[in-house]
A and B are shown apart, each in its own frame.
Chain A
């Protein structure tokens, strides 16, 4: 089945450690996105990529980094510089890099900093 796979589903990290969240899609979509969701909040955009080897900062990029070396993959690194990293992270993709198409979401990764 086509879709988006995020891993790990749950992750625990000590303060000061970097952690990388995986996002893979086999939908052949050009655009990929990372969102952060906190309780009672909407989805906030961290980074997005409209094409391979190119990505842009979203609204809350500080303390995060991404890469887009392959069309299928868009990993997110939560660095130690992120002051409040405990959250639910959602990866999404869309057919093309515009806001006029449906977003397909992965099942999410829940990060807890101890």
Chain B
């Protein structure tokens, strides 16, 4: 079935280092969303990308949607301990299909 692959599964960084997680789909996506889940918490919406080649920034976070609308990335500059958690991408195919979640990238940040 349709899948959204996300890598890496885990990432351990020193505070201040950068972090990137990647999301790939075998089919073209109509949009992609990103969520953050803190340890013991629930997913919280970060952003939605819709346009081919779109780039959006939220402070230290940069989100990209590929030109072919099959891949996306989330980049965090100069990580902080507050960035700890699991980051999920969720892709949609067409306007009626449900979101397909990637398995997430678990980020740990060493002070």
Binding site for B on A (CB under 8 A): 35, 40-45, 48, 58-59, 90, 98-108
Contacts and interface: CB of A to CB of B under 8 A. Distances in A.
Contact of B96 (A58, A98, A108): A98
Interface of B: 1, 4, 6, 9, 30-31, 33, 35, 41-45, 48, 50, 88, 90, 92, 95-99, 101-104
B25 to A, nearest CB: 13
A42 B104 contact: yes
Given A40-B9, A99-B30, A107 B43 contact: no
Contact of B95 (A35, A98, A103): A98
Given A40-B9, A42-B88, A90-B43, A102 B48 contact: yes
Contacts, number: 57
B101 A104 contact: no
B51 to A, nearest CB: 13
Contacts of A43: 43, 88, 90, 101
Given A58-B98, A99-B92, 4 more contacts: A42-B88, A42-B102, A99-B31, A106-B42
Nearest to B45: A102
Nearest to B29: A99
A32 B1 CA distance: 23
